[in-house]
Amino acid sequence: MRSFKVNKKSINQSTMMLKRIALSLLFLFVLVASASAQRWDGRWSGEMQTPEGAVEILFEFQTIGRTLTGAAATPAGVVPLTDGVVDGQSISFTLTIEKFSIPHSGYYSRGQIILNTEFEGETGQIILSRVD
Protein backbone atom coordinates (compact mmCIF):
# COMPACT_ATOMS: atom_id res chain seq x y z
CA MET A 1 0.00 0.00 0.00
CA ARG A 2 1.26 3.40 -0.93
CA SER A 3 1.06 6.42 1.39
CA PHE A 4 0.69 10.00 0.33
CA LYS A 5 2.34 12.95 1.98
CA VAL A 6 0.25 16.03 2.43
CA ASN A 7 2.10 19.20 1.61
CA LYS A 8 0.71 21.63 4.22
CA LYS A 9 2.52 24.58 2.67
CA SER A 10 0.77 24.00 -0.66
CA ILE A 11 -2.64 23.72 1.03
CA ASN A 12 -2.06 26.93 3.01
CA GLN A 13 -1.05 28.81 -0.15
CA SER A 14 -4.17 27.57 -1.97
CA THR A 15 -6.38 28.59 0.95
CA MET A 16 -4.84 32.06 1.06
CA MET A 17 -5.30 32.46 -2.71
CA LEU A 18 -9.00 31.51 -2.44
CA LYS A 19 -9.49 34.00 0.42
CA ARG A 20 -7.88 36.77 -1.64
CA ILE A 21 -10.09 36.00 -4.63
CA ALA A 22 -13.22 35.96 -2.44
CA LEU A 23 -12.31 39.29 -0.81
CA SER A 24 -11.56 40.85 -4.20
CA LEU A 25 -14.95 39.74 -5.56
CA LEU A 26 -16.73 41.06 -2.47
CA PHE A 27 -14.97 44.43 -2.82
CA LEU A 28 -15.90 44.61 -6.51
CA PHE A 29 -19.55 43.82 -5.74
CA VAL A 30 -19.73 46.57 -3.07
CA LEU A 31 -18.07 49.07 -5.41
CA VAL A 32 -20.50 48.34 -8.27
CA ALA A 33 -23.54 48.45 -5.97
CA SER A 34 -22.41 51.78 -4.52
CA ALA A 35 -21.82 53.32 -7.96
CA SER A 36 -25.24 52.15 -9.14
CA ALA A 37 -26.98 53.72 -6.15
CA GLN A 38 -25.11 57.03 -6.52
CA ARG A 39 -26.11 57.21 -10.17
CA TRP A 40 -29.72 57.97 -9.17
CA ASP A 41 -29.06 60.32 -6.23
CA GLY A 42 -29.49 64.03 -6.79
CA ARG A 43 -31.70 66.54 -8.55
CA TRP A 44 -33.06 65.85 -12.02
CA SER A 45 -35.15 68.08 -14.29
CA GLY A 46 -37.32 67.41 -17.31
CA GLU A 47 -40.41 68.47 -19.23
CA MET A 48 -43.63 66.53 -19.46
CA GLN A 49 -45.95 67.20 -22.38
CA THR A 50 -49.58 67.79 -21.42
CA PRO A 51 -52.64 68.91 -23.40
CA GLU A 52 -52.02 72.39 -21.93
CA GLY A 53 -48.37 72.41 -23.05
CA ALA A 54 -45.00 71.48 -21.58
CA VAL A 55 -44.69 71.33 -17.80
CA GLU A 56 -41.30 71.36 -16.06
CA ILE A 57 -40.86 68.83 -13.26
CA LEU A 58 -37.95 68.71 -10.85
CA PHE A 59 -37.20 65.38 -9.14
CA GLU A 60 -34.94 64.82 -6.18
CA PHE A 61 -33.93 61.18 -5.70
CA GLN A 62 -32.12 59.44 -2.88
CA THR A 63 -31.31 55.75 -2.74
CA ILE A 64 -30.91 53.63 0.34
CA GLY A 65 -30.01 50.15 -0.83
CA ARG A 66 -32.72 49.16 -3.30
CA THR A 67 -35.19 51.75 -1.96
CA LEU A 68 -35.75 54.97 -3.90
CA THR A 69 -37.04 57.97 -1.97
CA GLY A 70 -37.47 61.62 -2.81
CA ALA A 71 -39.99 64.08 -4.16
CA ALA A 72 -41.13 65.82 -7.32
CA ALA A 73 -41.77 69.56 -7.62
CA THR A 74 -44.79 69.86 -9.90
CA PRO A 75 -47.27 72.63 -10.72
CA ALA A 76 -49.51 70.97 -8.06
CA GLY A 77 -46.76 71.40 -5.43
CA VAL A 78 -44.10 69.15 -3.98
CA VAL A 79 -45.18 65.51 -4.08
CA PRO A 80 -43.32 62.71 -2.27
CA LEU A 81 -42.39 59.53 -4.12
CA THR A 82 -43.94 56.32 -2.82
CA ASP A 83 -43.20 52.65 -3.53
CA GLY A 84 -39.76 53.58 -4.91
CA VAL A 85 -37.52 50.72 -6.04
CA VAL A 86 -34.06 50.61 -7.62
CA ASP A 87 -33.28 47.50 -9.64
CA GLY A 88 -29.86 47.86 -11.26
CA GLN A 89 -30.33 50.17 -14.26
CA SER A 90 -34.07 50.64 -13.60
CA ILE A 91 -36.26 52.52 -11.15
CA SER A 92 -39.97 52.63 -10.40
CA PHE A 93 -42.11 54.77 -8.10
CA THR A 94 -45.54 56.32 -7.75
CA LEU A 95 -46.57 59.96 -7.45
CA THR A 96 -49.97 60.68 -5.92
CA ILE A 97 -51.35 64.04 -7.03
CA GLU A 98 -54.65 64.90 -5.42
CA LYS A 99 -56.53 61.57 -5.66
CA PHE A 100 -54.61 60.20 -8.65
CA SER A 101 -51.77 57.66 -8.33
CA ILE A 102 -49.41 57.94 -11.28
CA PRO A 103 -46.91 55.09 -11.70
CA HIS A 104 -43.48 55.88 -13.15
CA SER A 105 -40.83 53.49 -14.40
CA GLY A 106 -37.53 54.39 -15.92
CA TYR A 107 -33.96 53.58 -16.70
CA TYR A 108 -30.57 55.26 -16.77
CA SER A 109 -28.98 55.85 -20.18
CA ARG A 110 -26.03 58.03 -21.17
CA GLY A 111 -26.25 60.38 -18.21
CA GLN A 112 -30.04 60.79 -18.41
CA ILE A 113 -33.04 59.13 -16.82
CA ILE A 114 -35.81 58.10 -19.20
CA LEU A 115 -39.13 57.96 -17.29
CA ASN A 116 -42.30 56.41 -18.63
CA THR A 117 -45.66 57.32 -17.10
CA GLU A 118 -49.25 56.27 -17.53
CA PHE A 119 -52.26 58.35 -16.52
CA GLU A 120 -55.87 57.58 -17.38
CA GLY A 121 -54.87 55.40 -20.32
CA GLU A 122 -52.41 57.93 -21.74
CA THR A 123 -48.70 57.18 -21.74
CA GLY A 124 -45.92 59.71 -21.65
CA GLN A 125 -42.17 59.97 -21.43
CA ILE A 126 -40.00 62.41 -19.51
CA ILE A 127 -36.27 62.70 -20.20
CA LEU A 128 -34.49 63.91 -17.08
CA SER A 129 -31.12 65.61 -16.94
CA ARG A 130 -29.05 66.09 -13.81
CA VAL A 131 -29.18 69.65 -12.46
CA ASP A 132 -26.62 69.43 -9.63
Q: What is the CATH number of the domain that holds 111?
A: 2.40.128.120
Answer whether residue 43 is part of any domain: yes
Q: Is the pTM of this model over 0.75?
A: no
Number of domains in the chain: 1
Domain containing residue 98: 39-130
Answer whether residue 22 is part of any domain: no
**Could you read off the pLDDT of 50-95 as tens digits, one per residue?**
888 898 999 999 999 999 999 999 888 999 999 999 998 899 999 9
Answer whether residue 108 is part of any domain: yes
Answer whether residue 32 is part of any domain: no
CA 99 and chain centroid, separation: 27
Answer whether residue 54 is part of any domain: yes
Give just the sign of the alpha carbon dihedral 64, 68, 74, 78: negative
**Could you read off the pLDDT of 99-117 as tens digits, one per residue?**
889 999 999 998 999 999 9
Answer whether residue 117 is part of any domain: yes
Answer whether residue 84 is part of any domain: yes
